[in-house]
Amino acid sequence: MTDGKNPPTTPQPEPAPGNSGYGFPPVPPAPGGGYGFPPGQPPAGGGFGPPPGGAAPQGGYGFPQADAPNPYRQDGPGAPGAPGAPGGPFQQNPHVPPSQWPPAGLPVQETPAPAPFFPQQSEQPDWEALADRTAAERRKKRTWGIVGGATVLALLAGGGAFWLLGGDGGGEQQQAADDQPAASEPASPSPSGSKSKKPADNSPTVKDDPTQIRDRAGKAPLKMGPDAGVFPIDKRFEVRTKGGENSYAESEKRVVDTSKSFTVSARVWVRSDKGRQIAVSQGNEKSSSFALGLDQVNGKPAWVFRVQTGDQGADATTVVVSGTSSKMEKTFAELTATYDAERKQIALYVNGKKAGEAAVPGIHDAKGPLQLARARHEDKWTAAWNGAMDSIQTYDKALSAAQVDTLKPGKALASVEPTGAWLLY
């Protein structure tokens, strides 16, 4: 055991003078030899290790004599150090004359010819070849792109010329259909006879004046009284009146010429079916020439078309046709009134169906303005309308029963141009 500082040491004696160092015997080596070798001089011509007597001439230890054939030699006769020694079957020395090869008694072995030389395959790709191929492909694509673009331009040019010269009948018909004005937007004929397209404008009132209902067919806006107004409902607009003397709308001048054939239509809604309430009328300061609305007939509510044949507006000169619907109040009804001046006949249609007709000697031509939500009788305003209405239209001809049946709410007839149209949708 130690104390962890220095290991114990054992002193060694110093070598005696004339002796060897540590690890060698205290005897001097034998004369002529060294440690590990036998005493004496090495034999002449040999060194320590070979048997006494030396190596055989021209041979070495472990090798055959020089004059014996050696099948494993690679130098053959004439090689340095082995003059005249025959070579083995693997002899490759080109300096041996053909007459001395092969030595007698040895079989001739055919050495196969070397395989053809193949250059070493590199793992790196041929970048130059790849670049050339890519450039060629790009040139090919560019060529096809130019050819394709020219072809498309040629086709477009040909199609444009074809269109200018007449083109596709279906496309021309579609464009003609698109150019047709909406039923609620009649177009005025151009000098060439074709109709020009007008931009759609569904605004219910005159621009910059919300108190006037815009006439979408002519130039007869309807000025509303203080208690009347236009209100939006769903995708349409309607005018509402309260049934009072200030709840109405009127034009500035006459719209319907009652001396000739005409048609008046409106979609109406009334809060109550009691009493007389007129939706549309026209007349002068004394009386109305015609009135379309609600009245009591034989004690029951009915839709009526009333006309005045005399200039005084007396009941004796009044002609009325009437009709009913399944529900009168708080339900929209399409009312259409016609006057055929040639046949001297008036008719009333309720929701597209003829409700009644009557013969008349004629209608008094009062040249006053068109009125909404009231009528004129004996110099007074009467029959105020308490409800709403829209799709008000006038025509300067008596529509046939078939035309009335196709007259849809909010749409004017495409085959007949209206003289007035308000609140269409």
Name residues of the chain where pLDDT drops below 50.
Answer: 1-2, 20-21, 23-24, 30, 33-35, 46-48, 53-68, 70-96, 98, 106, 108-123, 157-194
pLDDT of 139: 75
Domain at 215-420: CATH architecture:
Sandwich (2.60)
Torsion of CA 81, 82, 87, 90, to 10 degrees: -10
pLDDT of 312: 79
Q: What is the mean pLDDT of the chain?
A: 73
* DSSP for 8-45, written as a single string: -----PPPPTTS--TTS-SSPPPTT--TTS-SSPPPTT
DSSP type of residue 195: B
**Which positions ≥6 away from 41 have C-beta within 8 Å?**
32
Q: Please give the Cα distance from 337 to 353 (Å, whole number).
A: 11
Q: Which position has the token pair 């001297």?
A: 344
Tens of pLDDT, residue by residue over 155-180, are 554 444 333 333 333 333 333 333 33
Looking at 53-140, which runs of residues are DSSP E strands?
A: none
Tens of pLDDT, residue by residue over 28-69, are 554 554 445 555 555 555 444 555 544 444 444 444 444 445
The vertex-136 CA angle with 133 and 142, nearest 5°, equals 145
pLDDT of 57: 45
Looking at 152-255, which runs of residues are DSSP E strands?
A: 205-206, 209-213, 222-224, 229-233, 236-242, 249-250
